[in-house]
A = this chain, B = another copy of it.
Amino acid sequence: MTRGNRNVDLRHLRYFVAVAEEENIGRAAARLHISQPPLTRQIQQLEEELGVTLFTRTPRGMELTQAGELFLEEARNIRALVEQATERAQRAGQGKLGRLDVGIFGSAILDAIPKLLLAFRNRYPDVKVVLHTMTKAEQIEALRQRRISVGFNRMLAPLADLAIKQVTTEGLLLAVRVDHPLAAQPTIRFAELQHHPMVLFPTGARPSFIDKVIGLCADSGFQPQISQEVGDAATGVALVAGGFGVCLVPDSATTLQFPGVAYRPLSDTPPNFHVDLSCIYRKDDQSPILAAFLDTVGRYRDDQA
């Protein structure tokens, strides 16, 4: 079996299809914007390479042989596939096609993240977004190992190889059980929190939201009474319902509607009484999909402002 396709290239196929369709080398040459003799030569060369007679030459023009008919189908397929491949590669290069692996934290995917993902999905419907629940430390590890391209978290600090982009900033509310003494007040002074046991979250890599809360208390001159540390906001609110005490949560946690738990605003709060939600990604990641995603993040943040 002669391996004859070494020197066959797409030009040959393009020319071949044109000749097969026009059944006339002169017309085909005109259609291809070349002159007749080189086209004749290319067809001869193709037949030579394949070792197959593709056309029978008649006084009226070129007529496909049976082998030619078969090869015509294949040639059209190949050309269509090439067309499709370039188009898909281009779309992928523009970040319009592909896959984005995203790290998210805890079981609490609250407010901003779903909205953001929805906005991204609308703008880039052919990018498959895959969510991975992982802690902050796992996100950083996964980013470095390229298992994810972007992670969402709070209290992120820039690193040498990882960059941060803020998504949104939120105030804090107090989750209390409706029969808790503090629940009687429509607004609670921040300093009052020192007299009540608190549930804190999340466990795991520091600094995290825990440190934010402890820092805020320190700014107000006290140390919180920690009744329990839990993994995420949802668990925290569940413990509040169970009577473990109060719990400071970001605004968006109000989407966690729990029977017997109310959310109360705070007054006399220290400065910086808010917490950021940011995303983190590799500085050297040139992926157009990540660029598109970060662009969507920027637009989202601007819309919020």
Chain A interface residues toward B at CB < 8 A: 1-2, 4-5, 8-11, 50-54, 56, 65-68, 70-71, 74-75, 77-78, 81-90, 92-93, 97-99, 286-289
Knowing A9-B9, A65-B287 are in contact, say whether A70-B52 is a contact too (CB < 8 A).
no
Residue of chain B at shortest CB distance from A146: B63
Partner of A8, one of B1, B5, B86: B86
User: A53 → chain B, closest Cβ, in Å?
Assistant: 6
Give Cα A287–Cα B65 distance, bound, in whole angstroms.
Answer: 7
What are 19 sample pairs from A and B whose C-beta atoms fall under 8 A apart? A4-B90, A5-B10, A5-B86, A8-B10, A51-B90, A52-B89, A52-B93, A65-B287, A66-B98, A66-B287, A67-B92, A68-B89, A71-B89, A71-B92, A74-B81, A74-B85, A74-B89, A78-B78, A81-B81
Q: Is the interface of A mostly helix, strand, loop or mixed?
A: helix
Which residues of the other chain, B, contact A67 by a CB distance below 8 angstroms?
89, 92-93, 98, 288
Cβ B92 vs Cβ A52 within 8 A: yes
A82 near B78: Cβ-Cβ < 8 Å: yes
On whether the beta carbons of B66 and A77 are closer than 8 Å, the reply is no
**In the bound complex, CA of A44 to CA of B90 (Å):** 15
Known: A50-B90, A53-B93, A90-B50. Is A78-B85 also a contact (CB below 8 A)?
yes
Q: How far is the CB of A14 from chain B (nearest CB, A)?
A: 9
Query: With a CB–CB cut-off of 8 A, which chain B residues contact A75?
Result: 85
Interfacial chain B residues near A82, Cβ < 8 Å:
5, 8, 78
From known contacts A82-B5, A89-B71, infer whether A66 and B99 are also in contact, taking CB-CB under 8 Å: yes
CA distance A74 to B77 in the complex (A): 13
Residue from A1, A53, A90, A287 with most neighbouring chain B CB atoms (10 Å): A90
A98 to B70, CA, bound (A): 8
Instruction: Collect the chain B residues with CB atoms within 8 Å of residue A2's CB.
Output: 90
With A67-B98, A68-B89, A74-B88 given, name 17 new contacts (CB 8 A).
Answer: A8-B86, A9-B9, A9-B10, A10-B10, A51-B90, A51-B93, A65-B93, A66-B99, A67-B89, A70-B97, A71-B85, A71-B88, A74-B81, A75-B85, A77-B85, A78-B78, A78-B81
